[in-house]
Amino acid sequence: MLTALIGLAWAAWWKISYVPPDSITAQTVAPAHSVGATIFSWTQLIGMRETWGIVAAKFLSDAAWFFYLFWLPKYLYDARGFDIKSVGTFAWMPSAAAGLGCLLGGGFSSFLVRRKFSVNVARKLALGLSVAVMPLAILIPHVAIPWVIALFCLAYFGQQSWSTLVMVLPADLFPSEVVGSVAGLVGFGGAMGGILFGELVGYLLDRNFGYRAVFNIAGTLHIAAFLIILAALPTLLPVMERQQVAANRI
């Protein structure tokens, strides 16, 4: 009930403080549309490296996230001898750390932007720091129980810091008219990664590969996702600006 009341209070604050775009003055809106923003077709969106780069990165990172999220209780039961009471006592901590990651990851990136760093530097530095902690999850099967909970907290924190930043990228790169479409594709990619990796985890455990193999894979997925973003988005520029730069070079 307390959590629900906090959520309702948050929604009320958002309703009061949010200013919808159509209420902004025409003087503010006009420059944004004068740079040539356009509605892209689905084919155009899917064909852009910005789109598939973010989708592929989300596919890999959410594969690890869904594993941590859904398999944490079972891992504590099967591999660490927890009972229901013990899981209830400790398993909330990683979720709390995830909430902090959501706030601090995006907050740190915004702080860098306010300090006059470019969006390219601010986003990629925050993403890189988030990714840097994720391989520590590989240690989970090798450490004592207190460290298991601590490492899960760190993995949840880093993942949600990362995820918050990744979901900001469509707004950084695409015209407002298609941000929702791109964000939907990114979310779809993440869900598919979670489903497929969940199947792989079950397959590996059924064939006695053990949790060590699973954590070895999960601990490297964010690194691969970050490398994809660096390759697909060498510089974070809105797609209209990138296309204009390319046309000028021709």
What is the SS3 assignment for 235? coil
pLDDT in tens, 229-248: 999 999 888 877 666 655 55
Taking residues 49-68, report their average pLDDT: 94
Is there a domain that residue 20 lies in?
no
The predicted pLDDT at position 231 comes to 94
Q: What is the pLDDT of residues 136-167, one digit of tens each?
A: 999 999 999 889 999 999 999 999 999 999 99
In the three-class reduction of DSSP (H, G, I as helix; E, B as strand; rest coil), residue 133 is classed as coil
At 89-98, the pLDDT tens digits run: 888 899 999 9
Domain assignment present for residue 4? The answer is: no
- What does each C-alpha distance from 232 to 45, 50, 119, 134 come to in angstroms? 14, 6, 16, 21
As to burial, measured by CB atoms within 10 angstroms (0-12 exposed, 13-18 middle, 19+ buried), residue 27 is exposed
pLDDT score recorded for residue 37: 47
Q: Is residue 242 part of a domain?
A: yes
What is the DSSP code (8-state) at residue 234?
S
Residue 76, classified by CB atoms within 10 Å of its CB into exposed (0-12), middle (13-18) or buried (19+), is buried
Report yes or no on 108 lying in a domain. Answer: yes
Question: Residue 6: helix, strand or coil by DSSP?
Answer: helix
Orientation angle between helical segments 210-232 and 49-80, nearest 10 degrees: 160
Domain of 208 in residue numbering reads as: 41-249
Q: Is residue 2 part of a domain?
A: no
Separation between Cα atoms, residue 155 and residue 148, nearest integer Å? 10
Supply the pLDDT for residue 30: 41
- pLDDT tens for each residue of 102-143: 999 999 999 999 999 999 999 999 999 999 999 999 999 999
Q: What is the pLDDT of residue 52?
A: 92
Domain count for the chain, please give it: 1
Question: Residue 210: inside a domain, yes or no?
Answer: yes
CA dihedral of 114, 126, 232, 120, whole degrees rounded to 10: 20
- Identify the CA nearest to 165 among candidates 46, 68, 54: 54
> Lowest-confidence range among 23-27, 46-50, 181-185?
23-27
Amino acid 184 reads G
CATH of the domain at 61: 1.20.1250.20
Q: How does residue 38 score in pLDDT terms, banded at 50, 70 and 90?
A: low
Q: Is residue 245 part of a domain?
A: yes
Tokens of 72: 């944490």
Assigned domain for 1 exists: no
205-212 CB contacts, 8 Å cutoff, 24+ apart: 210/141, 211/75, 211/78, 211/79, 211/140, 211/141, 212/141, 212/142
